[in-house]
Amino acid sequence: MSAQPKDKSSQKPALRFRGRSFLALSLAPQQPLDAWLADLDAWLERSPGFFQGRAVILDVAALPAIDVASLRSFVADLDARGIRIMAIEGGDAGGAGLGLPPAIANGRDSQLPVAAPPRGKPAPPESTTLVIEDPIRSGQSVFHPRGDVVVMGSVSSGAEIVAGGSIHVYGVLRGRAIAGIAAQPGARIFCRKFEAELLAIDGLYKSADDIDPTAIGRSVSARIIDDALVVSPLD
């Protein structure tokens, strides 16, 4: 008699473990926490929804003395602001225990990935620049964490651009421009006509109220100089 084929439905599925790589934003609070949260609230007021749907790591390296109860309360404060912490890094977070996000270690600032070219004919370098031909309208958000963003038109009030590298706007910049999130302090922001609500590079930011009013309506460049965000006219 021939052997009967096994019923595939009775076979157990293979157990597989696969590594995944995701880009996460890192929040690094400092004491006093009340003042830090006040600054965060000011940021969220000017850039609502910035953290929505984005993975966030809480780096507590600057809070070595924080206890579990205070850490749990602080994570709840962030959650109330719509910031969901997926993991905690730094300090003694490994002993945080249940009721808190898991602890991780050996995190690194994000950089543009570099892959070894295959043998034989070298592949052309992959472009990391996102070019947008259409204007960015109010309520729209552009999130490009792997390189520069070039906008050929204008950016409306209430719109947002987030880039791992630099941002170039060839029209009017009225919304929010956030550059250098991939740990690139050398990133810059350029626009032909400056009317922005908020600028930020590598975590340093300025709102319209903090910028010299003589820059309004002019071509400007923003960059970090001596750990400060500097906005300079180009004309």
Catalogue all structural domains in the chain, each as residue range(s) with its CATH number. Answer: 25-104 (3.30.70), 130-233 (2.160.20.70)
What is d(CA 57, CA 109) in angstroms, rounded to the nearest whole number? 11
Q: How many CA atoms lie within 13 A of 148 on its CB side?
A: 16
Say if residues 110 and 23 touch (Cβ distance below 8 Å): yes
pLDDT at position 169, please?
Answer: 96
The share of the chain scoring above pLDDT 90, in percent, equals 31
Q: What is the dihedral of CA 53, 59, 65, 69, to 10 degrees?
A: 20
Q: Which sign does the torsion angle of CA 226, 228, 233, 234 carry?
A: positive
Average pLDDT over residues 206-218: 88
What is d(CA 101, CA 78) in angstroms, rounded to the nearest whole number? 12
Q: Which residues have a Cβ under 8 Å from the Cβ of 137 and sit 6 or more positions away? A: 156, 159
Q: What is the pLDDT of residues 216-234, one digit of tens each?
A: 999 999 999 998 999 999 8
Say if residues 174 and 196 touch (Cβ distance below 8 Å): yes
pLDDT band at 87 (very low <50, low <70, confident <90, very high): confident
Q: Hey, which residues does 190 pair with through a beta bridge? A: 168, 221
pTM recorded for the entire structure: 0.61
pLDDT at position 70, please?
Answer: 87
Q: Which residue has the higher pLDDT, 52 or 168?
A: 168
Q: What is the pLDDT of residues 157-192, one digit of tens each?
A: 989 999 999 999 999 999 999 999 877 889 999 999
pLDDT band at 65 (very low <50, low <70, confident <90, very high): confident
